[in-house]
Chains A and B, each alone.
Chain A
């Protein structure tokens, strides 16, 4: 028994929207990072679902790349959060607003 591809797309969209909502509303940098992870994984779901649908391995391969990329991104993101904490004694993303005009 296989699930139709549109359900995967719906799932992916839901996960993406949850991530997006998190990015737009959360102030805690860690939660912010997690939300970004959600969005990335939403994309992964899509890739794998369509790869399966087309019987083609390229999408799965790309999903692997994305996961590696996400790991690197988390490393960089955590580094930024550490520096943020060191400078501001806080990890609220709305506090550091010096990088503007």
Chain B
């Protein structure tokens, strides 16, 4: 039922407000606080987690919450669908999706805060109050983005998330690379957000509403418009929905680092590793995919938009996975794996697999946070060395880090029964059944499937190079010890990465015919829900046909699961053969031209730099020249002419009263004559 009882939901805004308070406190008093300001952040995120869990339980108890907190402005609007007013508000929407995401974000944020004690404080970094303050602001923005009940509010916090990631990526601003990476992240995502902003304006102008849920949502309005066969801005309603949906998708592609806007993400590794964990698992990058899930009802109306999402997702999954194969820096490998995994989520959502996409988002949040924090632990162990070729043999010296990292790696590679397997399999299964009827989706599916092999390969290449074999440097022989602040988050996430997959074991459920797909029930409104925002409702809207292989869904499912598991194992096994040896060598260099292509990230950076320098810069120069010559010329010309003419005209001001009187009289007579002439005296 779609109850709107307040109850515990009255505390919902506090989820976001607590980290904001921590931000202000840390910013003002951070220097004087113990632990350089880590404590307010930890307390605030713990509070957020607690309230999020209360929300989660409340939603589980059959409730949902949707309210408007504050109205910015409201006014009359001439919208295309006839809604005569539009209001811009701040509101809270707690439904199964946002409740789930709130728990993920606050949990990961809390663990990152705790981990920072070991990663930043223990390492004697400077500027820690700034770090913790920015972390608090980051958490605040993301949490507020998650429970946003309308597109405009979502956009505002989406931008704030971008700003915070800019600040945190550039945390070590005294180095040369960090500020440049921060700028790149900011500019590339901003380029996407530009389209998002146009999309928000277009949706507001079309439907007169930006709400996500309820009768007054733009999703409902769009559905009505399509059913009525309305014409919006000269387009068929469905075409217009596709256009606006794709505009919003621009922001999503930028934030979620999907092709072609993925280039900022590997550079963002310049930030502290804890920040990378937060960005990749729960905040910045997750924001894009979450937005698609949030307004999934809207995308569901447009098969074209969905196909584009699926294709871009599938392509990005493969594209990024291949680049991850040749990286030497442990964080770089993880960066490309993030891009690739978000590709899977987009693929899942794009084929209408709302549950699969959200499931992968959930699992990825845990295992990627785990892997990044694990990488952070490795970096501490290695005295800030990130090159995997200088590691090796850490397995026995840091067992906690190793086993938790291994759990994360198994989940990332998608090996049964770790979490990643269940969600990746569901994404691929959903893609396959749609793909059997839609060639474009089939291509996306094929790319996603091939990427599974590469994922298994680069993941285990990373594990073997880092932890197995003989130590390849002095620091690897005698690693720096890590404290509880590093181990506890790793263990918590290690357990989560292992077990979260169990919440939605769709293949097992189908084989044994038992109802254990809890996440699907969760998102389908078995518990609390908001009308229209359920998997059920989305599934009815999505206009894709489903096909099966061999006439049975079970066969198709087993085939799909077997294929993806087999490929993942094959990838892992290849990595095992090549790199799980005492003295691994650089096999990848044997690839020749392909190696340098991958090493240079398919020259994506070069082409984007060319785009900036070879195209945008000359264009800007031409515009500047036009501005300097034509526009300024007109302005300066006007002033020159008036200066010159007034220089002459001022001479009639002689200072002699008689002359003035004469001019007055002459002027009066002239006026009289003109008026007389016009009045017909002389006719």
Contacts and interface: CB of A to CB of B under 8 A. Distances in A.
Interface of A: 20, 23-25, 27, 32, 93-94, 96-101
A101 B661 contact: no
- The A contact surface, by secondary structure, is loop
A27 to B, nearest CB: 8
A24 B655 contact: no
Contacts of B651: 101
- The B contact surface, by secondary structure, is helix
A92 to B, nearest CB: 10
Interface in B210-252: none
Given A24-B658, A94-B656, A99-B655, 16 more contacts: A20-B665, A23-B658, A23-B661, A24-B661, A24-B662, A27-B658, A32-B657, A93-B656, A94-B657, A96-B655, A97-B654, A97-B656, A100-B653, A100-B654, A100-B655, A101-B651
A93 B662 contact: no
Interface residues of B, number: 11
13 contacts: A23-B658, A24-B661, A25-B658, A27-B658, A32-B657, A94-B657, A94-B658, A96-B655, A97-B654, A97-B655, A97-B656, A101-B650, A101-B653
Contacts, number: 28
Give 8 closest A-B pairs by Cβ, nearest first.
A97-B655, A100-B655, A101-B650, A100-B653, A93-B657, A23-B661, A94-B656, A99-B655
A82 B651 CA distance: 29
Interface of B: 650-651, 653-658, 661-662, 665
B657 A24 contact: no
Contacts of B656: 93-94, 97
Nearest to A100: B655
Contacts of A99: 655
A22 B651 CA distance: 24
A93 B4 CA distance: 88
B646 to A, nearest CB: 9
Contacts of A101: 650-651, 653
A98 B653 CA distance: 11
Which of A25, A94, A96 has most chain B Cβ within 10 Å? A94
B463 to A, nearest CB: 86
Contacts of A96: 655
A82 to B, nearest CB: 16
Nearest to B649: A101
A54 to B, nearest CB: 24
B372 to A, nearest CB: 74
A93 B653 contact: no
